[in-house]
Each structure stands twice: as C-alpha cells, then as structure tokens.
Amino acid sequence: MKLSDILKQFKTIQPDADYSRRSRAEILLSPQNERRTMRGVFAFLHIIETGAAVALVAFFILMVTRGFSPTRSVAPMQYAVIDPVGLHAEAQAIDMQIQLADIVYPQVTSTATATPAASAALTKAFATVLKASKASSSAAVASSTMAASTSAPAASTTSLSVDQALQQLTQ
C-alpha cells in the first residue's frame, strides 16, 4: 500500500462535536475592547514609523545629491540669498570708478605742468563740474583753484557743460 494513501486516512479525523460547540461559544464571547485599543495604538505607531522612514530617506538623498558637504546641506538658505553674479558686477563697477579717478588726476597734473594754456582750460572745466555737482561747497573749492591758476592768461569763470569741458580737454 502506498504511504500517501495511508496518510490520507488521517484526513478523516474530526474533532468532537461537543468540544467544538463549547470552544466556539467561549471564543466568540471573549472581550474585544483591548483588541480595538491596541489596534489604534499600532496604527499610530505605524504612521510614525512610516513618516520617520520617509524623512530619513529624504535626508540621505539630499546628502548624496549635495555631495556630503555639511556647509551646503545644513545652511543652504544663506547661499541662496546671495547673488554671486550681481555681486561680481557690482564689484567690477566699483573698480571702474576707481580706475577713472586714477586716470583723471595724473592727466590734470601732467597737463598743468606741460602747457599753461591747457592747464587753464582744464582748470576751467574742473571748476565748472564742481559747481554743478556741489552747490554749496563748490564756490570755495573753485575759488581756491582759480587762485592757484591766476598766472594763466586765459583764465575766466564762465560756466561750461561737461561735454564742452571734455571737448576743450581734447583740444
């Protein structure tokens, strides 16, 4: 006889009917309150667990994509506020003003020492520019400048525009 056929005979085993009835009734009458409370607690813990897992994964992704740099990862907002292009442009503009000032003053001194006529013209132009920009203090500055250049034959205090002054300078 095949062993599998003998084993199949065990399937005819049945529990006692009285026992089954009693057991069923006892089980179904058992209290359920604790079960529901615990289900709520486990559901809450499950939500916390899921949230923590998502946050951890997001943190690691951030660390990987930003190259593990603590300064970049911890304080990204500080860098976001600063516009490096704007800063660079501003810095360049400041440098240009300084360069222009450096160019002007040597020219004035060199022309003043070279020819008296050109020096007088330059003095006139400089005085005019000062008048236009500084209303109150320009008079004193201009007079002192004029006093310094009284030796020039063509010296006068006629007002000129900036363009005219520059034109005279080129002449």
Partner 1 sequence: MIDGEEQLIRSAVGGDSSAFGSLYDRYQPAIYRFIVVKVGSREEAEDITHHVFLSAWANVGSYKHRGHPFSSWLYQIARNMVIDHYRAKHDDISLDKLDPDSSIIPSVEHVDVAMKMRLEKVSAAIAELKPDYQDVIILRFVEDLPLKEVAAILKKSEGAIKLAQHRAIKELKKKLGDESLEE
Q: Is the Cβ of residue 20 or residue 99 nearer to partner 1 in the bound state?
A: 20
- Secondary structure class of 167 (helix, strand, coil): helix
To partner 1, the closest distance from the beta carbon of 47 in angstroms equals 15
Q: Is the Cβ of residue 47 or residue 96 nearer to partner 1 in the bound state?
A: 47
To partner 1, the closest distance from the beta carbon of 18 in angstroms equals 10
- Secondary structure class of 123 (helix, strand, coil): helix
User: Which amino acid is present at 127?
Assistant: A
Distance, in Å, from the CA atom of 110 to the CA atom of 5, rounded to the nearest integer, reads 123
Using CB under 8 A as the criterion, which residues of the chain lie in contact with partner 1 when the complex forms?
1-4, 6-16, 19-20, 23-24, 26-28, 30, 32, 34-36, 39, 42
Contact between 144 and 137 (Cβ < 8 Å): no
To partner 1, the closest distance from the beta carbon of 29 in angstroms equals 8
Distance, in Å, from the CA atom of 91 to the CA atom of 34, rounded to the nearest integer, reads 72
Contact between 154 and 121 (Cβ < 8 Å): yes
Q: Is the Cβ of residue 22 or residue 88 nearer to partner 1 in the bound state?
A: 22
Q: Is the Cβ of residue 7 or residue 82 nearer to partner 1 in the bound state?
A: 7
To partner 1, the closest distance from the beta carbon of 16 in angstroms equals 7
Please report how many Cα atoms fall inside a 13 Å half-sphere around the Cα of residue 37, on the Cβ side.
Answer: 4
